[in-house]
Structure 1
Amino acid sequence: MKHSPKKIELTPPQILVIGFALIILTGATLLTLPIASAKGALLPFLDALFTATSATCVTGLVVVDTGTTFSLFGQIVIVLLIQIGGLGFMTMATLVAFALKKRISLKERLILQEAMNQGSMEGIVRLIRKVILYSLTIEFVAAVLFATRWSFDLGPGRAMYYGIWHAISFFNNAGFDLFGSVTGPFSSLTAYADDILVNVVAIGLIILGGIGFLVMSDVIEYKKNKRLSLHSKVVLTATAALIVIGAAVMYIFEYTNPKTLGSLNELGKVLAAFFQSVTTRTAGANTIDLGSMRQASQFFMIILMFIGASPGSTGGGVKTTTFTVLMGAVIAMIRGKEDIVLFHYRLGKDRILKATTMVILALMLVVFVSMVLSTTEAHSFLMILFEVTSAFGTVGLTMGLTQDLTGFGKIMIALMMFAGRLGPLTLAYALGPKAEKELYRYPEGKITIG
């Protein structure tokens, strides 16, 4: 009797990993076509793969300048990869399903739950509707504001194109820009360091993209519900604290540095300090030369990049909530308290264990890749650590190493961007064996700590 072949059942984490990998490969193939190049030349596949990975993982690290290397076709491919990668390919697939009036299956809801980092499937489709609506609305408003400002420099048509393109890039915390063709290759927004409108709109986009759609929905519906969830309170408090502390550190350390803040007027100094603080948390654009910053500032940026954005957002890193839980554990231990309490709520032990696991996995990954690259790349360890952390946090900031990476270095950084976008835990669940329920528990033991 013939047995039918066993059907392979993929878990939601495995589907996410495979889905992102396929999108990256498709994007890389399109970017190698002559039509994608500004000069009609074939882009080396490794460079195309690196660019597609960076765009899909909404990072912003580039080995070739986007504005001068790619044609209109190539730039559109990149911005589509950013939109798909930022909102998630399952969100985009759900948008198509909505348009076709197709029902969302249970399996698809499970994948959406994993993609949006939600604890349950309850209201997941409703959340996806909000994600799509909020994203398109915010990007449209920002595009109009950008276009209005840049029309004075670029002309109406080009300004509108740049407005739409950069609104998508910044909201999705990607950090890609086209200003290489305007102010010189790899210049980012340095020409607008003291421009109030450009800074405010860009900062607003980055923050909104980084706090997460659940928080955004909570804030918008606050007038109706008259309350915020614990998650939203933690995210908003941690985000505000990190932005203010980061800006203060940048302002103090770089105030007298003539190559960064020192050459700007007082308003420019404040704007640049806040912009660098915000963008370090996974956005990737910059208004001052990061390679010229003092080492103390650069190291502090590494810490901010490692923390990253918030769960369910377009950003990476270990996330603000993870950082807050660990800080809460430290404070509780110092004060001799048994429970971690945030906003009058006690956190479960599973939250603490997950936060600890996340940070340790991320730290091990960053340290290991930094050690490996320090043997293959002829640059300082701080520069390499900055690059690796930027890739893991899907930030996209660089001190100038990206363009000098060896072939091996490009592959390692691309893998870090991939791991950072999906998250170490999602990758571990996808690659690891299926968890089985334990039938028994070992007796509790005690070891000395500290």
Structure 2
Amino acid sequence: MYFAILGVALLPLIIGLLNGKRLYWYGTLVSFIFLVLIFDGNKIHQGIALIGYGIYEVLLSWLYLRYRTNSKNKNSTPLFVLAVVLAIAPLVVVKMTPLFSPNPSLLGFLGISYLTFKVVGYIMETRDGVIKTFDAVKYIQFLFFFPTISSGPIDRYRRFVKDYDSVPSREKYLELMGKGFHNIMLGFFYKFLLGYLFGTLLLPQVAHLAMISRGGFLDISWGLVGYMYVYSCYLFFDFAGYSLFAIGVSYFMGIETPINFNKPAIAHNVKDFWNRWHMTLSFWFRDYIYMRFVFFAMKHKLFKSRITTANVGYILLFLIMGFWHGETWYYIAYGIFHACAMILTDAWIRFKKRHKGMFPSNKFTYAMAVFFTFNTVCFSFLIFSGFLDTLWFH
């Protein structure tokens, strides 16, 4: 029903794009209507929180760009840090509220994390000098682009505006429509068939098998192994399916939202995995946290070795990612696990470079690397799932 309504609603926009015109006012109206549908009924309080959040973040972004434009000291680090802190403050409040109250924060709404990432990226690019003018209409369109508002993919302001300001040629738009339809159909297959198979039919069965066969703290049963693989498949197909919906609808609206998954199951190491899994999030963390920390550490010579700098950056990066998912031990352990995996991956790559010719490079060794990486990632998802907490401590 949702996609039927959406198809009818997008029809005038599609006709306009096919004829070389982007109906800006109509696109805004469609986004508004579907945001209302997303946050109606028992989610009305989230809709109110979204409006308040939007006003706050838009004003903050405008004030910081205004300061950058008019101030003589354009690169004031304290004010930049203050702007970033103020931008993430609502998200921090929402994430920390469960530690102090059983009730969710009044500031929370579906998609607050992804909107915050967009805002912080905008402020950082303003600091870098690549964003020099503030266009409130385009910025609001960017933040509240409804296909991606709840779960991404996370777009970048300049990339979004480049699409928003242009109209694709008829041939290009027909190609986008074909890709959009393909993504939506593949999304149905992933989310509602494979996601249902793994998440609804198989996951409770293997969870029950693991529970009845559990023993000591370090006990490993076939049920637990089954849970690890089934949950990993469910997580991918459910999330990738939704991402395909968002990307497909974006294409019909003439916006080439970046892809979120690129065959992560064939990654040959953990670093390659993060270049394929939830790509817009991992690239955001890489560009705005890891790279900036490394640059800061090297500039101020915090560590003697570049290797140490990179390793500390990994730990910082994945700890933040773990805490962002939640303040429970298994999310934090998930972050530490991947930080250690990245450190070991870099060490292994350096070792192979120093000992060229010692290790063969062929299809067999590549397949073994893919197999080992896949199982490593699946184990990390077992930690992430929180099932071990249920199995061992409840």
Give TM-score scaled by structure 1 length: 0.25
Give TM-score scaled by structure 2 length: 0.28
Structure having the higher helix fraction is: 2
